[in-house]
Amino acid sequence: MVKRITVMIEDDVDKKLRAKQAKIIQKTNSSYSYSKVINDALKQALR
């Protein structure tokens, strides 16, 4: 199930997430959404 929510993200966290997204895009040579990056980071942090 996918739920649309609004979250306030601090600038430094946004930069880290965007950098991670760019690295994944370059590595896989395909698109990778910002939402997916956030979901992956949250899942990893909540383990």
Give me the domain span that covers residue 33.
11-45
3 within domain boundaries: no
- Taking the model in full, what pTM does it have? 0.87
pLDDT score of 44: 97
4 within domain boundaries: no
CA distance 19 to 32: 12
- CB 33, CB 12: distance < 8 Å: no
Ranges under pLDDT 50 in the chain: none
2 within domain boundaries: no
24 within domain boundaries: yes
Q: Give the count of domains, the chain.
A: 1
Alpha helix locations (H) across the chain?
Answer: 11-28, 34-45
15 within domain boundaries: yes
pLDDT digits 0-9 by tens, 3-15: 999 999 999 999 9
21 within domain boundaries: yes
29 within domain boundaries: yes
19 within domain boundaries: yes
